[in-house]
Structure 1
């Protein structure tokens, strides 16, 4: 039995690679590194550091670093696989079930420590970005992600660094919108208030999608042709004009407005207050929907389907090292993100049947553990000395 690699043969993972013809495009050493990344990234305690990947490799961490920074392999091919397969899956599922197709845009900040002015090799392309989660500007990389969803299945479509020197977030989202397939049944783009604008609405409309997005309360409405701020208009809404709507177990008082906004000829705007906080100004939330045929309940139910992108960021940072990487070149960082997306795809649709990421993650861990036990058992049957096995596993 060969001891050339720490990782035992993983037939399921190899078949996953083979299904996308990776062996035709990548050398065996590159495929081994990709396998090592997936195994390391799905292991408990993974922090996103090169040393964590090296724990699952027979080579030194410097070789892993070289693979990420200077290795000869085309990360764009893997990006293309993630994009094509995520769309193929949700479009097929939409055709089979006649359920809507959702495209979800959002962004996050991967937090890094601001380097000293004396630092000779700081992490590239870091700067201050405003974090909505923390409510302040933090140092790091701003990353935009797009998920596609149908039914109970949410898949990562793209992860990429936002470069505000090249184009705005809206323009970036519009470029992605232009690549979306025509929805088989119906399609909706789900966004937060930073993306809710006529330009993105019109771009998605050209592809057959409606838009549902959060709305800032300073937006201008035109009830009966009168120009008024949304929050001002909301202060005149009475208890008789609202209805109670329950979404995901929480109840809200909702007022439905249909009409014009600045740059938008006609749309539905929902003014919402938690059940116990009606007419409290700080509790007011607003949502816009370009599909005026949808019922109020349906609009809020559909918007709640934006939550998986928040779960993705939480899982990617908590389980896949999305916030803990320490490689310094932007090429290495973007390659890490590409492999992270590929790992997410493997955990969701690469294990024989579609699974939520959390369940897929646990299944991969069990499979890897089982392969190790089988491999160690095989070493014993082959008469390989225990000291050699322990040394090979970096356990002795």
Structure 2
């Protein structure tokens, strides 16, 4: 064993990269850096910082920083592989189980510290955005993500920056709705029905029409000031709800929680026909602030099925939480747009590996623990092999950046 080139052998990670044919697209150093990221990202305490990557590489942190910001490699290869593999998996599951395919869209804020006006190199493309989680305006990156799901399997499909400065070919601002509509055209025809699950921001005719063309119905949150036409009378959802009596609703239980629901089917502004659910928690019927409304373009579904299908939107919230808590989605400090977009591509790739790249598909948390344990064992095996081959302790210590 050489004293000058010694690195822990993460054979499971490397085998996955070979199975996915990454050496056909990237040079050996790039593949090695991707392996380094996967090993570092699955370790406890990973923050998405370059110094964290350096702990799992024999390269200096400046080399890894250059790899992210200026390296000659195409991150869209990883992005497309994540998209293709996630869709292949869920379509396969939908065929096997004869269950619908769900496409889930949402956005989140990767919060950053507002830079001083004197800062010479602040993080690019940050800005002020409204955080639904914190209920206020915060500084950072606004990120759109898509998760695809069938049966009990949900997989990350894409992570994209929402850039307020981007425009359409006609000069109009490029919106989050434009992005979601464009994605509809890239999806396969669902083998046993498909639904796009969104919050009230995306519940509109453009998204409905785009997904209808792709073969999907929409189930989405609905603002309570939206206009409906019961018996031909024009009235907002919230005003109509004030006239609903206890005998008009039925109790629906979804994931162990019960809701009083009223189902309206008919016309909305710009929507010819759809089902609208008005829902209250079991102990808050008639409370205006407790009212929630949902729209479904598949009018053949009953209230319980609509509610159950919409609850499948939760995995994208879990993905955001997992990525921020474990994969450094909130704490990265790279400054260039190229660098953090590449970090997101690597994050999605690692998340997909933890859910689909092991012996059998599993939830991310289970997969993360398995990969983390394997990486730790690889490092211990490395230390043991160094001792067996007579490599001096100082050499090993330098390898682990402990010198």
Global fold match (TM > 0.5): yes
**So what's the TM-score if we normalise by structure 1?**
0.98
Q: Could you say what secondary structure the match of 2:201 adopts?
A: coil
**Residue 355 of structure 1 aligns with which residue?**
362
Is the 8 Å Cα contact of residues 6 and 56 (structure 1) preserved in structure 2?
no
SS at 2:122 equivalent: coil
Match of 1:138 in 2: 138
Q: Distance in 1 between matches of 2:54 and 2:356?
A: 26
Alpha-carbon separation, structure 1, partners of 2:149 and 2:37: 26
User: What is the aligned partner in structure 2 of residue 389 from structure 1?
Assistant: 396
Tell me, in whole angstroms, the C-alpha distance in 2 between the residues paired with 1:16 and 1:323: 27
Residue matched to 2:256: 249
Partner of 2:347: 340
Q: Secondary structure at the match of 1:321?
A: coil
Q: 1:209 aligns with which of 199, 212, 216?
A: 216
TM-score computed with the length of structure 2 as normaliser: 0.96
Per-residue CA deviation, residues 27-55 of structure 1 (Å, 9 max, x unaligned), is 11111111111111111001111111111
How far, CA to CA, are the matches of 1:388 and 1:150 in structure 2?
A: 49
Q: Residues 1-396 of structure 1: matches in 2 within 5 Å?
A: 1-2=1-2, 7-165=7-165, 166=167, 167-396=174-403
* Residues 295-335 of structure 1: CA deviation (Å, up to 9, x unaligned): 21111011000000000000111100001111111111111
Aligned partner of residue 92 in structure 2, secondary structure? helix
Deviation at 1:388, TM superposition (A): 2.1
State the distance in 1 between where 2:395 and 2:332 align: 32
CA contact (8 A) 1:6 1:57 kept: no
In the aligned structure 2, how far is the partner of 1:269 from the partner of 1:252? 15
Q: Distance between the aligned counterparts of 1:356 and 1:246, measured in 2?
A: 25
Q: Cα distance, 1:5 vs. partner?
A: 5.7
State the shift of 1:385 in Å. 2.2
Mapped to 2, the partners of 1:60 and 1:327 lie a distance apart of: 16
Q: Indicate conservation of the 8 Å contact 1:34/1:339, yes or no.
A: yes
Aligned length: 396
Report the alpha carbon displacement of residue 111 of structure 1 after superposing the two structures with TM.
0.6
Measured after TM superposition, the shift of residue 56 of structure 1 is 1.1
For the residues of structure 2 that align with 1:267 and 1:6, how far apart are their CA atoms? 63
2:351 alignment partner, SS class: helix
**For the Cα contact (< 8 Å) 2:82–2:157, is it kept in 1?**
yes
2:13–2:38 Cα contact (<8 Å) kept: no
2:221 & 2:396 partners in 1: Cα distance?
56
Structure 1 pair 244/368, CA: closer, same or farther in 2 (3 Å)? same
Whole-Å separation in 1 of the counterparts to 2:163 and 2:360 = 36
d(CA) in 1 for partners of 2:396 and 2:60? 18
| TM-superposed deviation, 1:353 | 1.1
Match of 1:8, SS state, is coil
* Runs (5+) with no aligned partner, structure 2: 168-173
